[in-house]
Amino acid sequence: MAEDSDNAGPEIEYERWSLEIRRGALSLAILAIILDGESYGYDIMKKLGGEEYDSLQLEPSTTYPLLRRLEKRGILEGRWSDSSGKRRRLYYVTRDGRRILRRMVKSWQSMNDQLMLLIKEAGLN
């Protein structure tokens, strides 16, 4: 009898859902952090490491691949900097990235508002 991997149990299902939500949220968070400036990956992780952002905390194994993906898609641009005595990649949001971020924020707000309404209607809050 084959195991049904789609019926993995509540804890695994929650982890899957959480991972899917985090993927989009982390892209939005990174873009919001560096919207009006430039940042190193370490600075982004440090910002999201604060208590107020505990759901958005990042590890280097997540941060740098995500930054590279955003750069590859033209949302971010990076340049090498030696200003601190160490060679590090400094990222900033491109013009297209700014447009995408504005749309992402509107979409996120709309989805959040609608989900909160459904949650309220279901008596879950």
User: SS3 for 24-46, per residue?
Assistant: HHHHHHHHHHHCCCCEEHHHHHH
Examine residue 89 and state whether it is found in any structural domain, yes or no: yes
The pLDDT, as a whole number, for residue 1 is 45
Domain assignment present for 72 = yes
pTM, whole model, 2 decimals?
Answer: 0.85
Query: How far is it, in rounded angstroms, from Cα 48 to Cα 69?
Result: 19
Question: Residue 16 sits in which domain range?
Answer: 10-121
Residue 68 lies in a domain: yes
* Model confidence band, residue 15 (pLDDT cutoffs 50, 70, 90): very high
pLDDT in tens, 67-80: 999 999 999 999 99
CATH code of the domain containing 15 = 1.10.10.10
Residue 41 is assigned to a structural domain of this protein: yes
The answer as to whether 15 is a domain residue is yes
5 lies in a domain? no
Could you identify the residue written with the tokens 């560096």?
34
Has residue 110 got a pLDDT over 50? yes
- Does 76 reside within a domain? yes
Whether residue 66 has pLDDT greater than 60: yes
Domain count, the chain: 1
CA 90 vs. chain centroid, Å, equals 18
Inter-axis angle of helices 60-72 and 41-48, nearest 10: 120
pLDDT surpasses 80 at 3? no
